[in-house]
Amino acid sequence: MKCFTCGSTNVTRTEKDGNEYYLCDNNHLNERVIMDNHRIVSKLLTHGLTHVSTGVLVTKGDKVLLINRRKYPFAYTIPAGHLEQDETPIEGARRELREETGLDLRELTLVKDYEAFYDPCKGGADYHEWHLYKAEYSEGELKGDSESKKIAFFKPESIKELKLTIPTERFLKEIGII
């Protein structure tokens, strides 16, 4: 990890108001870091560093599963994350769903593959390509992980009141949920 401000490699995780931040030895406190993680799929495109991500829109009737993140970006999101090397988008979607929610939903349907758009992450990329899947919740106990403050199903009218991540807001608008 490197400091997002000065590039120092002496960075520690710290918590403030229940959210995760990064503090370097030069006292720069950031919500983002530059990650030297070769496990995640990234590309250097004309607009800059781009990570490849995958996510799952989980519904239960008319409700949508959302996670309130304690890591940047500090907002509500669908279960999602970076695609790892040697992993297909659907494998990544299943892994992220299991890690972030405890759910093991096998029947995922591809909604859309998105070209890179502006979507800054804690790992230093400002753009992401996305693979969006959907699934209907049938059973299983919801269990948040270290990235979440809260995990729950929300009705569309409640979602309009929440601060959403850039991709989650885009996906829910395009699908017609909000």
Do 75 and 156 belong together in one domain? yes
Write out the two tokens for 58.
Answer: 């989980």
Do 72 and 15 belong together in one domain? no
Do 73 and 141 belong together in one domain? yes
Distance, CA of 128 to CA of 121 (rounded, Å):
9
Length of the chain: 178
Do 92 and 164 belong together in one domain? yes
The answer to whether the CB of 90 falls within 8 A of the CB of 133 is yes
Lowest mean pLDDT among 36-50, 68-82, 112-126, 155-169: 36-50
Do 26 and 46 belong together in one domain? no
Distance, CA of 26 to CA of 144 (rounded, Å):
33
Predicted pLDDT of residue 106: 81
Mean pLDDT over all residues of the chain? 95
Query: Among the residues of the chain, which ranges form H helices?
Result: 89-101, 156-159, 166-175
Distance, CA of 155 to CA of 15 (rounded, Å):
30
Q: What pTM was computed for the model?
A: 0.93
Parent domain of 140: 42-175
pLDDT tens profile 7-19: 999 999 999 999 9
Predicted pLDDT of residue 35: 85
Predicted pLDDT of residue 173: 98
Number of structural domains in the chain: 2
Do 79 and 21 belong together in one domain? no
Do 84 and 140 belong together in one domain? yes
Quickly state the pLDDT bin for 99 (edges 50, 70, 90).
very high
Write out the two tokens for 162.
Answer: 């929440």
Residue 86 has pLDDT above 90, yes or no: yes
Do 158 and 83 belong together in one domain? yes
Residue 6 has pLDDT above 80, yes or no: yes
Do 19 and 55 belong together in one domain? no
Q: Return the CATH number at 131.
A: 3.90.79.10
Distance, CA of 66 to CA of 51 (rounded, Å):
22
Residue 133 has pLDDT above 80, yes or no: yes
Do 19 and 47 belong together in one domain? no
What percent of the chain clears pLDDT 90, i.e. is strictly above it? Answer: 92
Do 30 and 80 belong together in one domain? no
